[in-house]
């Protein structure tokens, strides 16, 4: 699997990321979701890109936890509707990979004129 560099925009900042051709659509979709959540946080009154990014990360993490804690009936229903256990494992692996990439981005995002990493 060969790596390629793609450029995305998060919070108005262009960022280069490495991904495979296979994972590029998922990464772009994740970036779109993250950017939308950051914009919602900014429009909701968060003036700082750092704070808006943290609020977006918390919102997305909350959504993920809610999905992970879904009732067993929901998980069984998903599997019976076409997602087998191997596909579920693959998707969970991709989610972990995206979470790691978001964590890395959160550590490097900073306000314009303040080139300092965010320290968790």
Give domain limits for the chain: 3-108
Give 91 or 24, the one with higher predicted confidence.
24
pLDDT band at 96 (very low <50, low <70, confident <90, very high): confident
pLDDT band at 16 (very low <50, low <70, confident <90, very high): very high
Contact (CB, 8 A) for 53 and 106: yes
**pTM metric for this prediction:** 0.58
Torsion, Cα of 44, 46, 50, 54 (10° steps): -50
Closest Cα partner for 57 from 39, 42, 31, 38? Answer: 38
The residues that bridge with 76 in the sheet, in sequence order, are none
Digit-coded pLDDT (tens) for 26-73: 999 999 999 999 999 999 887 888 899 999 999 999 888 888 888 565
Give helix 72-80 / helix 85-108 axis angle, nearest 10°: 110
3-state SS track over the chain: CCEEEEEEEECCEEEEEEEECCCHHHHHHHHHHHHHHHHHHHHCCCCCHHHHHHHHHHHHHHHHHHHHCCCHHHHHHHHHCCCCHHHHHHHHHHHHHHHHHHHHHHHHCCCCCCCCCCCC
């Amino acid at each position: 699997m060969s790596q390629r560099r793609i450029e995305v925009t998060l919070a108005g900042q262009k960022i280069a990321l490495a991904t495979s051709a296979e994972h590029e659509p998922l990464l772009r979709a994740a970036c779109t979701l993250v950017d939308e959540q950051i914009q919602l946080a900014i429009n909701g009154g968060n003036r700082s890109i750092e704070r808006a990014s943290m609020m977006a990360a918390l919102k997305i993490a909350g959504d993920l936890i809610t999905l992970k804690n879904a009732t067993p009936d929901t998980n069984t229903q998903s599997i019976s509707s076409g997602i087998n256990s191997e596909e579920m494992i693959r998707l969970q692996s991709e989610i972990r990979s995206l979470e790691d990439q978001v964590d890395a981005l959160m550590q490097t995002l900073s306000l314009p004129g303040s080139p300092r990493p965010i320290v968790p």
